[in-house]
Amino acid sequence: MMNYVFVEEMSEDELLARFLPLLPQASGAVVPSGDDCAVLPMSDGRVAISTDMLVEGVHFRRDWSTGRDVGWRAAMQNIADAVAMGARPVSLVIGLELPGRLPVSWVEDFARGLADACAPLGCGVDGGDLVSGDRVTIGVTVLGDLEGRDPLLRRSAQPGEALIHVGNLGRSAAGYELLRRGFSPQVGNYANQETLLIDDFRRPKPPVIQALGAARAGELSAFIDVSDGLVRDATRLAKASKVWVDIDTAVLEPAMHALLPVARHLGRSDPVDWAYRCVLTGGEDHGFLGTLNRPHVRAWGMRTPVLPEGFTRIGTIREAHAAGRVTLDGKDVVGLGGWDHFAPSAGAD
């Protein structure tokens, strides 16, 4: 039997001493963690800032995800927000509410998950706060450097532009459903499809390098992180830009077909419908949706436009629309939403 050391057995300083050494620091930090504030350099003085929360029992379950998984998720969903603005993620600041009977080893694993996500991107974890409470609650603030560029906005889409996407679609939703139905991932080097999908739910994989490359090359107009499902986030982009967004579902077929074996394994009565719904409405993939910053005549000539690396064209901005409109193959979307934290059915059931 493993002998755990619990959070309630340590002072705040003792607990910090256990996990702070596991965290990466922002490159060139003027004042790192350990003072009242960290002080960080920014190349042009403009900082993109966003805050997100993860609550145990709502966004994650400790019987489904390790501390390392939760640390990865906490980092990546905030990093994706910064990148969606075209900003290079520089630093995370993290607040933690921790139950007294939580093993300290879980907190250390959480720190390792943060480092797994942040260190390869040169992003630091440079401060935060600890409090005691009834369940694990995580607040993360990301600071991003715009590197002299204007921020990418949801409201910048123009009629005639190509609608483009990079990243996973529907895989996190499928992984969540597998866990909800009692499936367990395989252990070892022979991961099956179910195991890979569960991993994509536990550890979303935003394509940060491709998105930042497109931003730095000036190839994007409007841009948004797809965290709440393709249709819901396309609707946000359409409303902000006051345009009609038309999605070509034929282009989504590879993502849908990849989920069909799982749909059948789950015993879904209509596997194709279930797979399409995952692709169109599944949240937590943290891919990116945007429009190609090219004039209509260059984007739609006799040749297919050259897209940023890793991106796929999945539709078109058809025309201006005061209220914002999203269609699938020209037909209005009916009965398809996406993840909504305040919907009655939301939660890590």
Annotated binding site: 36, 50-52, 59, 81, 128-129, 154, 225, 227-228, 284, 339
Instruction: Identify whether the C-beta of residue 226 lies closer than 8 Å to the C-beta of residue 312.
Output: no
Q: Give φ, ψ of 70 to 5 degrees.
A: -65, -40
The DSSP line for 172-199 is HHHHHHHHHTT-----SS---HHHHHHH
Cβ(237)–Cβ(157) under 8 Å? yes
Partners of 139 in the β-ladder: 53, 95
Binding-site members for ATP are: 128-129, 154, 227
What the block records as the tokens of 100 is: 């007294």
φ/ψ of 167, rounded to 5, equals: 115, -175
> Per DSSP, which regions of 207-330 are E strands?
220-226, 243-247, 287-292, 312-320, 325-328
Give binding residues for substrate as ranges. 59, 284, 339
SS3 222: strand
As annotated, the binding site for Mg(2+) includes 36, 50-52, 81, 129, 225, 228
Could you give the angle at the alpha carbon of 26 between the alpha carbons of 22 and 28, nearest 5°? 130
The neighbouring-strand residues paired with 315 are: 163, 247
Give the Cβ contact number of residue 345 at 10 Å.
Answer: 6
